[in-house]
Amino acid sequence: MSSVPIEIKDSTVSSSKWLDAHYDPVANLYTFSSCITLADLHGDGENKLVVGDLGTGAGNMKLKVYRGTGLLSENTLLDLPTGLVSFLMDQHEPRTPAIAVASGPFIYIYKNLRPYFKFTLPTLEVNPLEQDVWNQARGDMIDPMTLKEMLEGIRDKAEIPLSVRSLRFLMLEPQEMESYVNLQKEQPIRRQTIITCIGTLKKNMADDDAVSCLVIGTESQDVYILDPEAFTILSKMSLPCVPTLMDVTGQFDVEFRIIVACRNGNIYILRRDSQKPKYCIELSSHPVGLIRMGKNVVVGCAQETMQSFTQKGKKLWTTYLPAPVTTMALLDLPTRGFQAILVALANCEVHVYRDKNVVSTIKTQDVVTSICFGRYGREDGTLIMTTKGGGLIIKILKRTAVFDDRDSISGPPIAQSIRLNVPKKTKLYVDQTMRERENAVAMHRAFQMDLSRLRLAAARAYVKALESSLTPMSASLTEPLKMNAVVQGLGPSFKLTLNIQNTAACRPVMNLAISFLYDENLYSMRTAFFKIPLLVPGLNYPIDTFVECLSDKGISDIIKVFVLREGKSTPLLTAHINMPVSEGLALS
Amino acid sequence: MGLFDKLAGWLGLKKKEVNVLCLGLDNSGKTTIINQLKPSNAQAQDIVPTIGFSIEKFKTSSLSFTVFDMSGQGREGQAIIFVIDSSDKLRMVVAKEELDTLLNHPDIKHRRIPILFFANKMDLRDALSSVKVSQLLCLENIKDKPWHICASNAVQGEGLQEGVDWLQDQIRTMRT
């Protein structure tokens, strides 16, 4: 009882930490946390919101910039963005950051909201066998069918996978092959990879306005670090699997760590001067969000849990969440020295976690798909969320808000205070116990006598049923059968369906017949005796017959069904069907 | 106060001293407004973000104002000027929050001091009207204090005189 007012108080306290600055349910923003960032694009001290909008399916990919509550500019993107970061690429004044949008094998760099540079990932090496085969095709030495066979051979055996061109060729219908080969054979073969995630790494200073390198993870299981000005590859590291989420910390010239969550459900930690990951954290389910808090890694898993690890892979804690995680972000307030984790859940809530404890809960109107926390406009603690339906929610943390670090599970659980539903004892019960106490011996004897009689009666009836095969379940071990009958219809015609099933493990039953016994004055059937097909074990055989009611008096009777073996007169099974009263005649 | 002082006061010869607090979020235009109210020869040319607080003085037809240009709260204020950036729609909730905190402050709560709101930066294209600003700040809920909202453009000085005139009338009616 007392828990209810506490809950109400809690929710009002937590909701009062945030001011609702803006809510636009039709902002048409479809994006994820990897494609949203805050940056001071014009160097005027006012941060803008930069969103790589994925659009609605195939088209409408846009780079949108918001200022305050309104859209400032829109650039069309050529391909689906996979990641978006803002970074300072040079020392020039004013210090306006560049926007890097990763899509496909390219990184598009925007400066001052104008296209500035396009970086293309280096191509991967092509299988020499594939190269040979295509060279032969170019010299018209082989026809498309042979080409297909040879490529299939290479695909099955070779270590280096085929290029996109060959894979596409293998998909084609025979009549399209000729033209495709003629079109493609002149161009050189290239094999390209695709960017899956992108991050930034400070080059040689830890300042906020220091120059940053781009760090990219690719589908070819590599991590590249790019020079910010020349866009040359500074470093290349390889991973055992395709990276999906990335967190980068440190400085390139001094020491850095790249934490990557991969598609195989593992987290790898890369360091300077090592081509291969040094530590590996194996998760029980796939990572959905990856956050670094100081020296620890917090991972939101697909199994509705959040786990924390040290950078050496030691597990610190696990929290069980009330709903699946949709995305995660870091809440960082350096001016107040406060760090927490924002977890968006599929039940339209965003929880703020300080270590294992929920310190605030935000209810949203829709499922949140992307979160970004930081300085927006001129306000430091701004929380920006976009929803599944394309809405934009902006909340501002109150300057007076305090997150008290109390444990969320305080006191006994509510279930403890619920009273059990124990039935009450009346006077009747007490009288009954008195009677039992006085006449215990006689009651016991009488009951034992009755029980023996009951057993006898039951055994007699059972034997009688077995002798005349009255049961719808056959008891014999050689032919285990099961039957039930269903009557459908209102009359005078009824549909009678018998469901027969052979319940043996692997022995079919043959040579069975069905016979009906009924009052010929009341009912008529087209065939009262027919054979049934071979019964395969496990399958249910519905056998339909039609029964016509002849009486117009509204009388019903029993129809008996017998399943018989050919050459034996005793039935295997019997079913009695209580026919319903025919309503059709009564009406006419 | 002697009889002569009173007489001089009524005749408007000696100006009364009034302390005013000028409050508002950062970048709302507090310093610019105060600067515009000063005589033209005392006006500063470049306005930079105020650090801490500054004290400025200006005179109107019958009163001498001492303005504390700050973003905190004080106790000696006889009037409050609250400046709002009407083009910053996003931070209107923050301004409302700050205003509520101010009005609930024990030194302010039970005193009937006039509050003048400047819906500043009216010249900007995406600025809200003063009616809209007063709606967003829920000014109609202020029942126990006289208040007035003026649309203003502090750079050009538009709307400032109207607000200060109202403030002056209020202070004079409170005195008598």
- Does residue B70 register a pLDDT over 80? no
pLDDT by residue (tens digit) across A94-103? 778 999 999 9
Residues in chain A whose Cβ is within 8 Å of chain B:
19-22, 68-70, 376-379, 394, 396, 398-400
- Does residue A145 register a pLDDT over 70? yes
> Looking at chain B, which residue has its C-alpha nearest residue A396?
B94
> Looking at chain B, which residue has its C-alpha nearest residue A69?
B90
Question: Are the Cβ atoms of A379 and B89 closer than 8 angstroms?
Answer: no
Question: Are the Cβ atoms of B90 and A19 closer than 8 angstroms?
Answer: no
Predicted local confidence at residue A307, as pLDDT: 92
Could you list the residue range(s) of the whole structural domain that residue A574 is in? 481-578
**Percentage, residues of chain A above pLDDT 70:** 94
Question: Are the Cβ atoms of B91 and A377 closer than 8 angstroms?
Answer: yes
Give the least confident one: A314-318, A424-428, B23-27.
B23-27
Whether residue A475 lies inside any domain: the answer is no
In a mutagenesis test of the B interface, which of A15, A16, A18, A19 is the best target, namely the one with the most B β-carbons within 10 Å?
A19
Reference A343, options A390, A287, A294; nearest CA is A287
Predicted local confidence at residue A214, as pLDDT: 93
Give the CA distances from residue B47 to residues A46, A516, B11, B32, B59, in Å, rounded to whole numbers and listed in that order. 18, 107, 37, 7, 21
More reliable by pLDDT, A82 or A4 = A82
DSSP labels for chain B?
A: --HHHHHHHHHTSSPEEEEEEEEE-TTSSHHHHHHHHS-GGG--S------S-EEEEEE-SSEEEEEEE-SS--S--SEEEEEEETT--TTHHHHHHHHHHHHTSHHHHTS---EEEEEE-TTSTTPPPHHHHHHHTTGGG--SS-EEEEE-BTTTTBTHHHHHHHHHHHHHHHH-
Whether residue A38 lies inside any domain: the answer is no
Question: Are the Cβ atoms of B88 and A68 closer than 8 angstroms?
Answer: yes
Task: Please list, in sequence order, all residues whose beta carbon lies within 8 angstroms of the beta carbon of residue A159, skipping any fewer than 6 positions away.
Answer: none
The reported pTM is 0.75
CB-based contact, B56 to chain A, within 8 Å: no
* Measured distance CA(B86)–CA(B64) in Å, rounded: 28
Domain B16-174 has what CATH class? Answer: alpha beta
CB-based contact, B89 to chain A, within 8 Å: yes
Report helix, strand or coil for A23: strand
Whether residue A285 lies inside any domain: the answer is no
Q: Which two tokens stand for residue A528?
A: 């009262």
Q: Which of A185, A209, A233 is at the close of a domain?
A: A185
How many separate domains does chain A show?
Answer: 2
Q: What is the CATH number of the domain that holds A497?
A: 2.60.40.10
> Looking at chain A, which residue has its C-alpha nearest residue B27?
A378
In a mutagenesis test of the A interface, which of B92, B94, B99 is the best target, namely the one with the most A β-carbons within 10 Å?
B94
Residue B1 counted as an annotated binding residue: no
- At A487, the pLDDT band (50, 70, 90 cuts) reads confident
Candidates B43, B73, B78, B135; catalytic one: B73
Predicted local confidence at residue A525, as pLDDT: 86
pLDDT by residue (tens digit) across A64-121? 999 988 899 998 988 899 999 999 988 887 778 999 999 989 999 998 888 999 999 9
CB-nearest to A19 from B25, B27, B94 is: B94
Domain boundaries, chain B: 16-174
Whether residue A540 lies inside any domain: the answer is yes
Mean pLDDT value of segment A502-513: 83
Reference A297, options A262, A341, A332; nearest CA is A341
Whether residue A277 lies inside any domain: the answer is no
Residue entry with tokens 């796939």: A286
Mean pLDDT value of segment A116-130: 86
Question: Are the Cβ atoms of A19 and B93 closer than 8 angstroms?
Answer: yes
- What is the residue-averaged pLDDT of chain A? 85
Whether residue A529 lies inside any domain: the answer is yes
Predicted local confidence at residue B102, as pLDDT: 86
pLDDT by residue (tens digit) across A272-307? 888 888 888 899 899 999 999 888 999 999 999 999
Reference A562, options A492, A512, A522; nearest CA is A512
Question: Are the Cβ atoms of B93 and A377 closer than 8 angstroms?
Answer: no
- At A527, the pLDDT band (50, 70, 90 cuts) reads confident
- At B5, the pLDDT band (50, 70, 90 cuts) reads low
Q: Which of A185, A201, A224 is at the close of a domain?
A: A185
Q: In what order do the strands lie in the sheet with A114-120?
A: A83-87, A98-103, A106-111, A114-120
Mean pLDDT value of segment B36-55: 78
Q: Which two tokens stand for residue A341?
A: 């984790």
Predicted local confidence at residue A408, as pLDDT: 54
Asked if residues B120 and B129 have their Cβ atoms less than 8 Å apart, the reply is no
Predicted local confidence at residue A7, as pLDDT: 39
Mean pLDDT value of segment A555-570: 78
Predicted local confidence at residue A584, as pLDDT: 65
Residue B29 counted as an annotated binding residue: yes
- What is the residue-averaged pLDDT of chain B? 81
Give the least confident one: A404-408, A575-579, B53-57.
A404-408
Whether B43 sits among the annotated catalytic residues: the reply is: no
Whether residue A88 lies inside any domain: the answer is no
Mean pLDDT value of segment A179-190: 79
Q: Which of A185, A201, A217 is at the close of a domain?
A: A185
More reliable by pLDDT, A80 or A130 = A80
> Both ends of chain B: CA-CA distance in Å?
14
CB-nearest to A398 from B87, B91, B97 is: B97
Whether residue A262 lies inside any domain: the answer is no
CB-based contact, B26 to chain A, within 8 Å: yes
CB-based contact, B27 to chain A, within 8 Å: yes
